[in-house]
Structure 1
């Protein structure tokens, strides 16, 4: 997907991982997750290692932070295609990959330097290797399935366990139905992969405990209890029932219909008999687990999106198959009519917002309206294509109609990136760092930080992380202004009062850069 030229990281996790990765690269300490003058073992270090490697190869900037997630998104799209192809055929696999690649929240997290896109890719790799081993009788591929358990833990810590539990029924029961295929839990390749996959995270934990005692393990385990008791993220039992449809718009409805078709329709039902524990069991078990966990976030369900895409592809395949079988069928026309009606209303509202005919008071309303207008125009196309069905072949109509259904989301999501709605999350600070005076100082002098350890306000904490990431030459960290050496520069937090003799150079998000003469 397209991105704007100006990029900035999103609070809080993206800044956190970027700063930790930078410290790993600059200090040579790849064991301790550092930030500023402190460290914290509440997360594992897989994504930080990947980001630090990108820093090493391509330099320290936002694109490097987000590169692992972008590559994981591409890999996930390919694996979604192959998983769909193995279970339901090439056309459904291809449609599923396209749908997955234009699912809104998946596209957003593909452009964020966080754990989630990489975790989805690892889980899909486990599912693909299991299916490929099952369908081709190449049991050595189970090595990959086993290894992904350790890799997922290295990326996401204990929050990788729900997906592992959801996959276990397929590994246990689906393998038993395959006759001569040696089930996963009786296959030495699976256990060899499991052991080797645990080596990186086990090595990291061993090195960390050698240096810090039991603190790393206590902190990791404690984070689970903290999250499960976190009032801020406790959104009630029905959170995912509306949040997933909103963030995966418009694929929730066709996804649910596709699941029903896959279970009842004889064509899909017969094809899925060998794979039921995976295609139905994994998303159902994982969805139940996520709902039982008290902390609920928009990004935990990213793990469900490839399966939602496959079920959505089943719905679209069923619709076009209905038309191919009977050219008099009006099903595609009825769907086109719904899209046309929805798009017409959306287009009118978007135009009204663009020209300020509707009093809407929030930032970037014009950019959002422009994106929605683009989506609306794209979804007018299926109706226009359907009206021209008399002058094209059925095969041409189906291809064009499917393409037009996907066109609107694809155009809109590209525009979201181009406008910076996704990708440029801290524009004021980014503009501050474009100041020529500030750039000259940053290029030649180390910048100290004062007050980062005493911050209580969340907004100030996240600003300090971004300043640390954006500052090229990092100095030392002081608790008080009195510790700042003469003839030096420092970012000071808003709760610290500068001396009259200190020269204030610039202010950004209440933080001040001062010079001590």
Structure 2
């Protein structure tokens, strides 16, 4: 494929050929299969998934969709957008195993369709297919798309905002698309707070327009007032949630919990978290290995892409400048904060895939990229095969320890045979497609990886990772008229208990929870049980009179009645109840 600067944008009325339509529908079908494998085969897994699903479930059960709850407490760490969508999905499908994954699935699918459309409009339909497939082949993108977290949704809103802005800035003028992009940026703000990053696209545009770069849409000086309407469009989207939330909180002015909720979600969890990060503190160069390893196999194209991007910039191709400069601005923004997580830079991926796509056909025919692709499959397949066979035959201590920490009591060999299957599939794909069709080998290897993980890994690990087996054991000890209270619990405990329960706060100090729980239990000692993790009992519970329910999510859990309580004893506060130590699988 020639330089991107030589690709004329697609004409508005140009019809797709039969081959182009076939390529699109095959790409769409492959994408749906890749992203959808495993949906319905597992429950929410820690750390974040049970938290959001529990809040969504409580919305459905209580009818209060404005303020998310985690048990009896308001949950103010994140805006409720994802929880709304999970709850709405449940109202449609009536199955939580499916509903909790639908927002991520649809967000990832929507992101790829938007990237395809940008590639189609800025270059041609083949580039659009390459752009979508380049993003889909990224390990981090699919990994996050298969998790019920906020990140796939915020990536969708930021990509939708970029789609509207680029249609205006490069394919325009199209003021409706500009306002739409600003509105989507606002929706991104009420999803995770960082949706405004899409508006950074206006900075390289302003510079390119001043320098008269090729492909820049000329707006005219009289359009200044139209630019200003982008701000109310953004604020209108934010107001969809913010205004009703503030009004509802004011109605609860007699309850200080609602004032604390407003302060936490508007200031502490946004600007406070960015400026004075208290978790995930890393160096300024933290994201460089993320770009190389988490973005495999897309990152294999970087050596060739950098050279071609530079050529596009020298040719003053604004189609390369705007997405590339925007991605660098996002990278700098997140690098400037001490708090860093690998998923923060995921919104860059669709734009990087977009500007890689025009050169992919040329690069895929080069020996160096084929060699890197072969090395990638050989290395990943070899590591999986080596790990699997070593664990199967040597039975090292770490395998027993890993199974115990995860509460996995199924056939241990199944875990390692799964690794063998993944490794073998990588090498099989390489053997089938060989050197000349290395890109097909990569696609086949990635599909096999996610098929094994979704169809084998999900059912195998679900009982221990989701705590469903643990909470099933709890239910076995409860009579039809028994009640249960939770102390120092985790979201998956209440979610998977699947029966009414009483909690005494989530972030409330453990000692206070214990005192209130014991008082509650004493009111009906014959029928009331308390559920607690082992360290939080301290010396205040007679273990000989309690029941060790089992080990799950790196914790031992107990169930006891009032006769096991040591009178007058109050345990020390637990130091374990942090957001990042939640026993993620």
Instruction: From 170, 179, 193, give the equivalent of 2:218.
Output: 179
Question: Please, which runs of 5 or more residues in structure 2 have no aligned partner?
Answer: 1-33, 211-215, 403-414, 505-515, 564-585
- Report what 1:249 is aligned to: 296
**Deviation for aligned residue 1:483:** 1.4
Aligned to 1:105: 140
- Secondary structure of the corresponding residue to residue 43 of structure 1: coil
* Other structure's SS at 1:119 match: helix
Assess, with a 3 A threshold, how the Cα gap between structure 1 residues 52 and 367 changes in structure 2: closer, same or farther: same
Does 1:431 find its partner at 2:469? yes
Task: Give the drift of 1:230.
Answer: 4.0
1:359 Cα shift?
7.4
Find the partner of 1:307 among 322, 326, 351: 351
Separation in 1 of the partners of 2:103 and 2:561? 37
Whether 1:415 aligns to 2:452 is yes
Q: Does 1:476 align with 2:498?
A: no
- SS class of match (2:501): strand
Question: Deviation string for 1:408-455 (max 9, x for gaps)?
Answer: 2222232222232699566252333556x837959x667532323xxx
Q: Is the 8 A contact 1:488 1:515 kept in 2?
A: yes
Q: Closer, same or farther in 2 for the Cα pair 1:184/1:434, shift >3 Å? A: farther
- For residue 346 of structure 1, report the CA deviation from its aligned partner: 4.9
CA–CA separation in structure 1 for the residues paired with 2:476 and 2:92: 24
Instruction: Report Cα offsets for 1:373-421 as digits up to 9, x if no partner.
Output: 322332344535x2xxxxxxxxxxxxx5543332222222322222326
Matched residue, 1:258: 305
RMSD: 3.4
Unaligned 5+ segments in structure 1 are: 324-330, 387-399, 453-460
Q: Distance in 2 between matches of 1:277 and 1:85?
A: 17
1:147 Cα shift? 0.9
1:370 is matched with 421
Aligned to 2:388: 354
**Which deviations, in whole Å up to 9, do the C-alpha atoms of 1:83-121 show, x marking residues without a partner?**
222223222221110121221111111122211000111
TM-score by length of 1: 0.80
| In structure 1, distance between residues paired with 2:369 and 2:483 | 59
TM-score (norm 2): 0.72
After superposition, the C-alpha distances for 1:330-369 in whole angstroms (9 at most, x for unaligned) are x34x543444455445545543433326776344454334
CA distance in 2, matches of 1:446, 1:54: 32
Tell me how far apart the structure 1 counterparts of residues 275 and 208 of structure 2 sit (CA, whole Å).
Answer: 32
Corresponding residue SS for 1:355:
helix
SS of match in other structure, 1:379: helix
In structure 2, C-alpha distance between the alignment counterparts of 1:500 and 1:287, rounded to whole Å: 52
Contact residue 300 and residue 372 of structure 2 kept, 8 A: no
Paired residues of 1:75 and 1:121 also in contact (CA < 8 A): yes
Question: How far apart are residue 217 of structure 1 and its match?
Answer: 3.8
2:99 alignment counterpart: 64
1:207 is the counterpart of 2:251? no
Q: 2:434, 2:164 → 1: CA distance?
A: 40
Equivalence for 1:282:
326
Aligned position for 1:169? 203
Q: In the alignment, is residue 153 of structure 1 matched against residue 189 of structure 2?
A: yes
Secondary structure, counterpart of 1:480 in structure 2: helix
1:308-457 superposed matches below 5 A: 308-320=352-364, 331-332=366-367, 334-341=368-375, 343-344=377-378, 346-356=380-390, 361-362=398-399, 363=402, 364-384=415-435, 386=436, 402-420=439-457, 424=461, 427=464, 429-433=467-471, 438=475, 447-452=483-488
Q: Verify the 8 A CA contact 1:24 1:33 in the aligned structure 2.
A: yes
Q: Report how many aligned residue pairs link the two structures.
A: 476
